[in-house]
Amino acid sequence: MEETIIAYRFDRLEETLSQLNKANCAIVAGGTDVMVMHKSRRGVPPKITKPIIFIDHLLELKQVNQNGNDLHIGACCTYSELLRDPLIPMPLKKAIKTIAAPAIRNRGTLGGNICNASPAGDTLPLLYVYNAKLLLRSVNGDRIVPICEFIQGVRRVQREPNEILTEIILPSVLEEGAHVVFEKVGNRNADAIAKVGFAGYIRTKGAVIEDVRFAFGAVGPTMIRSNEIEKKLLGKTIPVTDMDIAKVVAAFDKIIKPIDDQRSTAIYRKTVALNLLRYFLTNSTHIQHI
Amino acid sequence: MIKFNLNGRKIETDAPPTARLLDVIREDFTLIGTKEGCGEGECGACSVFVNNLLQNSCLIPIGSIDGAEVVTIEGIMESDQFKILDESYSEAGGVQCGYCIPGMVMASAALLSQNPHPSEDEIREGISGNLCRCTGYNMIVEAINMAAKKGDGLWKKQ
């Protein structure tokens, strides 16, 4: 006797939230990770033990709007929808273009990439340097959590069972003098899981560095960012001197501890991660000079 | 019961909501033009259109597409666009073993309907989610380029 699989697909977010409050469910957005994770034999449906709740069709989760300096992105916007949206900043679009291929971009969602919390999640390094904040909603109300606190480890997030990630908020995306870069290294241009991901953010006033942020993906259980190292560069002038670059690279050398796996080796990952950092510091701080 | 539109026909299925669209169209509706390659969304052999968007049917739980319009390779075979693609793939030698071709043709049709005059880079990007182990891709790229020229005016921009 086959077990019956329970699945819900409500028209409204409100109904979805009240169902989540009643029972612990597996939330499925685009499903591009879930379906692979629970893959079974050909012809046999993926085995997901909890009841399922589909959310990717909910219009409330598909809006993008600019609110003052902050950009609010609905968690169930697909990558293709974000690529077409005029409000999405270019560096984020550039990052999205490196994700998967057209067919998956038509299904995969930004919220899904966050909640899946893969160490190699493609959008994560960039969302970390944007200081993204996440809006979580439940029947009890809303709360906002910085992405670096929300993601706690490999596939571990700080989401209560009755909550849904509804919005990704990018604060101050329109700030002047900011330069954002995203790099991904993988085996194939399309559909590859990253060996290394890197995002860099730098904001200058004149030649003075006012803010600088770096995040590395796929080189640890989750994204690596260090406020302490970033601080070393604040107030310095660009171009950054070779000595300062060497100091920053050496500091990250100590805290980046990648692993060997089927996709790459620890030594390769570390070398490439530090090279991307060096390249960013050498080149991006020159661009600002123009 | 999950209801959706398959190649223009209203259908119902009692398959479980997590059943893959790929299995439902192949096994319950015997539309076997859509192939399974990797089963993980990396090869594109199972590409179909869902609400006019190219998607990997191996990654779609049918419970998530209630009410959607699904079109498989069989659903486009009578169209003029398909005939142009068919001719172009033959002429360019884009087909060898043929396993990837239904998915390639779906990806080609999706690309050309959004971008009727793609550059070579855009063609390669358009089929970047589809793997072919025989041709080395160049003949497929040539086929799509040929289809764009032969079918000029046929691929209307959406």
Strands A196-205 and A208-217: antiparallel
Q: Where are the strands (E) in A92-247, listed by range?
A: 133-138, 141-146, 151-153, 156-157, 164-170, 178-185, 196-205, 208-217
A interface mutation test: which of B59, B70, B73 has the most A CBs within 10 A? B59
- pLDDT score, position A287: 53
The strand pairing partners of A198, in sequence order, are: A183, A216
Delimit the domains of chain A by residue range.
7-170, 178-287
pLDDT tens-place values along chain A, 290 residues long:
457 889 999 999 999 999 999 999 999 999 999 999 998 888 888 888 899 999 999 999 999 999 999 999 999 999 999 999 999 998 899 889 988 899 999 999 999 999 999 998 999 999 999 999 999 999 999 999 999 999 999 999 999 999 999 999 999 887 778 889 998 888 877 778 889 999 999 999 999 999 999 999 999 999 999 999 999 999 999 999 999 999 999 999 999 999 888 888 999 999 999 999 999 999 876 654 44
Give contacts of A38 with chain B, Cβ < 8 Å: 18
Closest CA relative to residue A36, chosen from B97, B22, B123: B22
B48-57 pLDDT per residue, tens: 999 999 999 9
Q: In angstroms, rounded to a whole number, what is the distance separating the alpha carbons of residues A256 and A266?
A: 10
Burial of A59 (0-12, 13-18, 19+ CB in 10 A): exposed
Fold of A7-170: 3.30.465
Question: Count of residues for chain B?
Answer: 158
Q: Which residue of B has its CA nearest to A104?
A: B55
Average pLDDT for B57-81? 97
Give the pLDDT of residue A1.
Answer: 46
Residue B18, SS3 per DSSP: coil
B36, B41, B63 member nearest A9 (Cβ): B63
pLDDT computed for residue B62 by the predictor = 96
pLDDT, tens digit, 9 for 90 and up, residues B118-144: 999 999 999 999 999 999 999 999 999
Please report the number of interchain residue pairs, chain A to chain B, with beta-carbon separation below 8 angstroms: 103
Residue of B44, B54, B58 with shortest CB distance to A106:
B54
Residue B124 is predicted with a pLDDT of: 97
- Helix, strand, coil tally for chain A in percent (to 5): 30, 25, 45
Flag if B23 and A52 touch (Cβ within 8 Å).
no
* Domain extents in chain B: 2-75, 80-150
* Radius of gyration of the CA atoms of chain A, in A: 20
Bridge partner list, A182:
A199
| CATH of the domain spanning B2-75 | 3.10.20.30
Closest-CA distance of chain B to residue A101, Å: 5
Cα separation, A91 vs A80, in Å, equals 15
| Per-residue CA distances from A173 to A87, A90, A126, A130, A169 (Å) | 10, 11, 12, 7, 10
Is the pLDDT at B158 greater than 80? The verdict is: no
Average pLDDT, chain B: 96
Q: What is the CATH number of domain A178-287?
A: 3.30.390.50
Return the CATH fold of B80-150: DNA polymerase; domain 1 (1.10.150)
ipTM score here? 0.95
Strands (E), chain B: 2-6, 9-13, 47-50, 53-56, 69-71
Cα separation, A169 vs A147, whole angstroms: 10
Beta bridge partners of residue A64, listed in sequence order: A73
User: Who among B27, B56, B66 is closest to A103 (CB)?
Assistant: B56
Q: Taking residues B21-29, what's their average pLDDT?
A: 97
Nearest CA in chain B to A2: B16
| Mean pLDDT across B12-36 | 96
A52-54/A7-8 β-pairing: parallel
The answer to whether the Cβ–Cβ distance between B130 and A39 falls below 8 Å is no
